[in-house]
Amino acid sequence: MTGWWAMSRRPPKAKPKKTKRTETQRAKDKSDALFSKLIRSKGHCEKCGRMEYVQLQCAHWISRRYAWTRTYEDNAFCLCAKDHHWFTDHPTEFGRWAVGMRGESVYREVLERSQRRDKFDWLAELERLQGRLRQQEADV
- The model's pTM is 0.83
Q: Is there a contact between 110 and 61 (Cβ–Cβ < 8 Å)?
A: yes
- pLDDT value at position 70? 98
Closest CA to 120 of 14, 13, 28, 15: 28
- pLDDT value at position 6? 59
Total number of domains in the chain: 1
Q: Is residue 105 part of a domain?
A: yes
CA angle (133, 135, 139) in 5-degree steps: 115
Give the span between the Cα atoms of 36 and 59, in whole angstroms.
9
User: Domain residues for 58?
Assistant: 24-117
Give the span between the Cα atoms of 20 and 17, in whole angstroms.
10
- pLDDT value at position 54? 80
- pLDDT value at position 18? 77
CA dist 84 → 27, 52, 58, 59, 78 (Å):
26, 14, 8, 6, 9
- pLDDT value at position 2? 59
CA dist 58 → 82, 83, 108, 135 (Å):
12, 11, 20, 20
- pLDDT value at position 13? 77
45-59 pLDDT, tens digit per residue, is: 999 999 987 899 999
- pLDDT value at position 129? 97
Q: Is residue 100 part of a domain?
A: yes
- pLDDT value at position 139? 85
Give the span between the Cα atoms of 67 and 122, in whole angstroms.
9
- pLDDT value at position 15? 78
12-22 pLDDT, tens digit per residue, is: 777 777 788 89
Q: Is there a contact between 91 and 113 (Cβ–Cβ < 8 Å)?
A: no
Q: Is residue 13 part of a domain?
A: no
- Other Cβ atoms less than 10 A from the Cβ of 91: the count is 10
- pLDDT value at position 94? 97
Closest CA to 83 of 70, 92, 72, 94: 94
Mean pLDDT by 10 residues, the chain (140 residues): 61 78 95 96 94 90 96 97 96 97 97 97 97 88
- pLDDT value at position 19? 82
